[in-house]
Structure 1
Amino acid sequence: MSKGQTKAERLLSELRAIPKLIQELQRDLEATRSSLLTSPQWSDMRVVGGVHKSQEDKNIKIIDSCEWHVKQINQLNARKTEIMDIIFKLEDNDQRRVLIAAYLTYDSYVEACDALYMSKAKFFTIKSKAVKNLNRLI
């Protein structure tokens, strides 16, 4: 993170990262759940490193891990909603559209410009005003 970033820029960077984090957590959650379904079954009790482990202990550990993933995903979705609520306090619809397109919907500014049918100059002018107004709101 750059020293010169404003609160709004940090908030928008966080918004950009949230969908990717959720996607990674969901991918890991599915892998964890599939290990529960396909985990090799052994006799009721097995010794691992001198400690008795049962299949039930292993399954409980996997379920706990799944619950953690779900909790993190829910927290990220709640944070995304908080940030979106702040963005929707902006009075100008174009500023909201530009911020959502630039930081949430599309991976690059070029894609966002094309999707919004705006010239790059207009897009960046609106984006700059939106960030300034967002700083005022924060």
Structure 2
Amino acid sequence: MAKDKTPAHYLLEELRIIPKLIAELRADIEATRSSVLSSPKWSDVKVQGGLRLSQEDKNIAIVDVTDYNTKQIENLLKRRQEIIDLLMTLPDMLQRHVLVTTYVNCQTFDEAIDRLEMNRNNYYMLKRKGVDSLDELLNRTKSVLNNTGTVQIDTQKY
């Protein structure tokens, strides 16, 4: 039976997922931009879905989508940095190293164990202690778990 996820678990999973979200947003930006180059130019006005659209309207929509995705990437990068900054405040350097390597640089625990060149038992012990330390830190800083499962961090507290 798996134990309940703590705020630290949610935070670490968020840290692991952020690069994947960024990659998807970047792929969407590239696909959107390439549609400008590959889309055929139509006459000044075309009816699509009952709406009259000009080529300029389509280009503006593409720019809007690209700007939105770029802003979301910036927000995700800031969030990632906030979480890493929080991890760097953990008192034990080995725990910090294990958590950062596991959740920033690796996709699996086995990959992290290999990268850290560490005994499996020591790795899991340090990882568990690191997660416990992070939970204590989150409790001290009064971080709040919102209804979507993400942890909101008040970065002024730590």
Quote how far apart the aligned CAs of 1:94 are: 1.1
Q: 1:49-60 counterparts in 2 under 5 A?
A: 49-60=49-60
- Aligned partners of 2:46, 2:115: CA distance in 1, in Å? 58
Q: What is the Cα deviation at residue 51 of structure 1?
A: 2.8
Q: Which residue of 2 aligns with 1:122?
A: 122
Partners of 1:106 and 1:73 in 2: how far apart? 20
Structure 1 match to 2:47:
47
Aligned to 1:29: 29
The aligned counterpart of 2:75 is 75
More helix by share: 1
Q: Indicate the SS of the match to 2:89.
A: coil
Residues 69-90 of structure 1: per-residue CA shift (max 9 Å, x gap): 1011111111101100110001
**What is the rounded CA distance, in whole Å, between the counterparts of 1:111 and 1:48 in structure 2?**
50
Normalised by the length of structure 1, the TM-score is: 0.94
Q: Aligned equivalents of 2:121 and 2:3: distance in 1?
A: 26
| Residue identity matched to 1:79 | R
| Deviation string, structure 1 residues 42-100 (Cα, Å, up to 9, x no partner) | 11122234432110000001110101110111111111011001100012221111101
Corresponding residue of 1:12: 12
For residue 41 of structure 1, give the secondary structure of its aligned residue in structure 2.
Answer: coil
Percentage identity across paired residues of the two chains: 47
CA distance in 1, matches of 2:3, 2:51: 50
How many residues align structurally?
137
28-37 vs 45-54, greater mean Cα deviation = 45-54
**Structure 2 vs 1, CA of residues 14 and 65 (structure 1 numbering), >3 Å: closer, same or farther?**
same
Residues 63-102 of structure 1 aligned to structure 2 (within 5 Å): 63-102=63-102
**CA–CA distance in structure 1, aligned partners of residues 112 and 96 of structure 2:** 13
**Corresponding position of 1:61:** 61
RMSD: 1.4
Unpaired segments ≥5 residues, structure 1: none
- Give 3-state SS (helix, strand or coil) of 1:52's partner: strand
TM-score (norm: length of structure 2): 0.82
In the TM superposition, structure 1's runs of 4+ consecutive aligned residues that sit over 4 Å from their partners are none
Which runs of no fewer than 5 residues in structure 2 stay unpaired?
A: 139-158
Q: Return the alpha-carbon distance in structure 2 between the equivalents of residues 16 and 59 of structure 1.
A: 34
